Structure 1
């Protein structure tokens, strides 16, 4: 037998074998449940192109949005990191005594709840926590097959800045360093998630893989190339850079989180140039995490996993960038409550946007339904799968809280009460976003709105949850 004939026969055998492998892999993929890639971004505002804000460069998020269902009216249930994440992962509302602050632990506040990762693990999923998902690494530990954090955990790349951070409360509020993306924590998380995808590709087990990104949380540290994308001279302070006298004093705070960093004044407004530098740093960090997300999504596609993987992306709450002369979160203005939320479901989403009001407790039952699972009784959210399927939402409200402040969001109305332990209001705030989208004119104490305030107060108590005062 001549060499050319041997080559032809060998090639034919290889192709037949390869085709059989592809058919087998296709059958396995059709039989197994849909995978979930969950991307959690710390302190991410909906200040992005697909939310009609066109000054932050985030091409990868734009591309994801073009293949997703984009929620224009998504709200966290509590505007602080630990509490928001515990509430989201259990699908349960915060109360006066549950899910209160950054140091919230699901295991302490609601140990009996079956979390989303636990539900998936109990139903055959490989569950991997990468980066910041819960506030504490060991929280809900039994729900995960693997918990991974980037080490060493440095917020700063420049040795001098590392030294400042070691010898002070938190170090500088920002850094621009001419370094590779993977020097910072989120770059390391990205490499880990990509490697996980390669390993999971070889498994017949469905996966719940998470990517918890730390930026754009303070300090605003990102490689210099992302800072160079923006001209600071073109950055302006927000239009709402004021604190009207009609707004209750309870609505404001001294942004203590920011004041823990070096070179931030202990009280009073920030100098305009410092304020613009912070905004510049925030933009740079968003572009940095956008690049990391792009790498992971490209790897998902390269591995032929995207057609069998739901991708959901959310920011744990909003963030004030000088809005109402405030920085950070910890308030119930829309800037701290409204969040980016995207979900890409293969074969079902295509870039459409919905105005349906959605709460973060709705994420758990929605993902459970999408993979064919029933949510536990402790889940208080409502699935938004009907919206994905093109149906009209029947829900037009949400409830968020922080400390004594409880906000009822209904259509264009934002109504907040500060209540005591018995649920009695001692301050109120009412905004109509049709006429006042920047929330500068509090209507709550105006006589002509007294009937509306009364009806909203009643409805707030009907909607804030049966266990709210417990």
Structure 2
């Protein structure tokens, strides 16, 4: 009897040690943030907390989303499945509709014994895949992202069918807006999860810098509007087909007396965007500081990612919703204990996050996942990875390699090719120029290969591989 009790005690102790050794995951999503923050070489945006974090992790300089719109991008990332013309299409997309039967990233960790928690905007719709993914109901603050603390904004909301002013800068505390409450809830959860002693997957999603640009005054005060740089390519790319469209989302907000074609409007928009980024940077810093204080950082893999990029007046576009580089390229920073810090030019996709986290946590990857594990890059930033990345939205499908970005519209009715080496701002479509004919042929072939890969997704209830 004593022998049996001793064996059981040893096994229980071993199980406890194994649980402690399993890495936690802190999964931080930031909406609409393009990779133009300090650590990415952004000359004006002040992001000291993200910059300090990036100095300890691996910064992916060429990470791309699958679909440059909130709902579809997040559904693709959270399932590790590529988009098609009929799957992951727009901002209302739900993973549990478009990829029914596929395991989600948090579900996979939940099934492996993790406590999984969702705070703020992770899936676009908080009910998406909620029961299967989270250990408790997904949490969001009761105040919507349009919550205002400026009487002028509130008056506009009441007086018109518009969403209210496009910006405000009241002198309020960080927790006056929903994102501040998300940070506070995440900090409280870190304390609770530490006490529980189980491995956890804590997802923390911030809405800013998504429009409207509402942030406390102190973040606006970091910038002088008359010194804010504005785009110098406020025109459509030369030779771009009519199928290339920008977002008109900003027109649903009250723009006061601004002329949208004026320098003043461009400076106001960029000022608001930068203030919103600095606000979220502080909130991310608060969460990371608590992780350190609780002595959880050494055993927690931290991922900071953006769901897509954003145009700030370039090509006369505001927002995402197209296949230009500014819409598809995203920030991605991964910090894992014992892995190298640095930066990589490797081409990666957001669907690659799913299998990478599974690999780092020694969890089997569901067979539905189409992403590839990039953990080797965390050891060797120069490690070759993807030859091309794939992204799509509406009628446009895009592949990007180390030099070119190619888009085909409507199955070949029109196309774009940008030489990123000669024209990094994508101001001239060279798809029709004879000297690029072989490049177009090559890129089109690789596009068809990626489209075929996407079409062959395994969407039956997955087994693990």
TM-score normalised by L of structure 2: 0.91
For structure 1, list consecutive stretches of 5 or more residues without a partner in the other structure. Answer: 1-23
Q: Give the direction of change, closer, same or farther, for the CA distance of 1:394–1:136 in structure 2 (3 Å limit).
A: closer
**C-alpha distance in 1 between matches for 2:156 and 2:405:** 42
Q: Is the Cα–Cα contact under 8 Å of residues 409 and 415 in structure 2 kept in the other structure?
A: yes
* Partner residue in 1 for 2:344: 354
**C-alpha distance in 2 between matches for 1:405 and 1:375:** 30
- Alignment of structure 1 residues 2-81 onto 2, 5 Å: 28=17, 31-81=20-70
Q: Is the Cα–Cα contact under 8 Å of residues 96 and 468 in structure 1 kept in the other structure?
A: no
**2:308 equivalent to 1:326:** no
SS of residue paired to 2:196: coil
**C-alpha distance in 1 between matches for 2:317 and 2:98:** 29
**C-alpha distance in 1 between matches for 2:183 and 2:251:** 30
**C-alpha distance in 2 between matches for 1:321 and 1:238:** 7
**2:132 equivalent to 1:139:** no
Q: Give the direction of change, closer, same or farther, for the CA distance of 1:97–1:373 in structure 2 (3 Å limit).
A: same
CA displacement, residues 36-68 of structure 1 (integer Å, 9 cap, x when unaligned): 000000000101112111211110000000011
**2:79 equivalent to 1:90:** yes
CA displacement, residues 214-237 of structure 1 (integer Å, 9 cap, x when unaligned): 100000000000000001111122
2:415 aligns with one of 411, 428, 432: 428
CA drift of 1:386 comes to: 0.8
* Partner residue in 2 for 1:107: 96
**2:335 equivalent to 1:344:** yes
Alignment RMSD (CA, Å): 2.0
* Partner residue in 1 for 2:366: 376
CA drift of 1:244 comes to: 3.4
**C-alpha distance in 2 between matches for 1:258 and 1:388:** 38
**2:298 equivalent to 1:298:** no
CA drift of 1:265 comes to: 8.8
CA drift of 1:30 comes to: 7.0
TM-score normalised by L of structure 1: 0.90
SS of residue paired to 1:291: helix
**C-alpha distance in 1 between matches for 2:436 and 2:217:** 51
- Alignment of structure 1 residues 243-282 onto 2, 5 Å: 243-253=236-246, 255-263=247-255, 269-282=260-273
**C-alpha distance in 2 between matches for 1:442 and 1:448:** 13
CA drift of 1:341 comes to: 0.2
2:425 aligns with one of 427, 438, 458: 438
State the aligned residue count: 440
1:241 aligns with one of 219, 222, 234: 234
CA drift of 1:467 comes to: 4.4
2:389 aligns with one of 387, 398, 403: 398
**C-alpha distance in 2 between matches for 1:274 and 1:459:** 40
* Partner residue in 2 for 1:158: 150
* Partner residue in 1 for 2:436: 449
**C-alpha distance in 2 between matches for 1:29 and 1:322:** 51
**C-alpha distance in 2 between matches for 1:196 and 1:460:** 43
